[in-house]
Amino acid sequence: MDSLELTNLLEKYWSCETSLEEEQKLKDYFRGEVPEALKETAELFRYFEQQQNMTVKQSFDAEVKKKIVTKPAGRSASMYFNLARIAAGLVVVVAAGYFVREEVRKAYPTQNEDTFSDPKLALEETKKALMMISNSFNKAHKEAGKINLFNEAEEKIQGKRVGEKKVNI
């Protein structure tokens, strides 16, 4: 086999495109003497052939069955070990939750006391707060109207009619 044919066959082999006859040619070639550059490839082909020719002893099944240890019926130590691991994990999660909750309580103390003892005074303060919020909303509404005017002007500049909806086809 010349080097060009060998190179082409190897490229086809590595691309998984060879036929059985071509693979047999490669196997036959690599059984003999090969150049130094192809020693590793020859060793690979020899390894494949060696593995293909291996057989299993008749007593293989019996030897494997002897080595298999069956677990006795009932609870094993590994099951208790797994349960202990789960319990330890739960303890860690509960403890972490407790400590996090305590830290949050320290950082953000809650006050359950009323701030006003007189209900009329509380009502007046609530009215003031609601008026302040209402004024803020009114101011925001006016500003939003300005944005709407800006959008209408932009549409006029772009040549669109105000109020006309854009239809995509």
pLDDT per residue over 115-124, tens digit each?
778 889 889 9
Percent of the chain with pLDDT over 70: 88
Residue 78 has pLDDT above 90, yes or no: no
pLDDT bracket for residue 16 (50, 70, 90): very high
Residue 160 has pLDDT above 70, yes or no: no
Q: What is the pLDDT of residue 163?
A: 52
Task: Tell which of 13, 38, 54 closes a domain.
Answer: 54
Q: What is the dihedral of CA 35, 40, 43, 48, to 10 degrees?
A: -130
Residue 29's CB is within 10 A of a number of other CB atoms, namely 19
Length, in residues, of the chain: 169
Task: Tell which of 14, 29, 54 closes a domain.
Answer: 54
CA 125/CA 116 separation, integer angstroms:
9
Quick one: how far is CA 146 from the chain centroid? Answer: 47
Task: Report if residue 63 sits inside a domain.
Answer: no
Task: Report if residue 68 sits inside a domain.
Answer: no
Task: Report if residue 65 sits inside a domain.
Answer: no
Q: What is the pLDDT of residue 89?
A: 95
Task: Tell which of 54, 75, 93 closes a domain.
Answer: 54
pTM, two decimal places? 0.35
Domain count, the chain: 2
Task: Report if residue 98 sits inside a domain.
Answer: no
First to last CA, the chain: 67
Range of the domain at 17: 3-54
Task: Report if residue 155 sits inside a domain.
Answer: yes
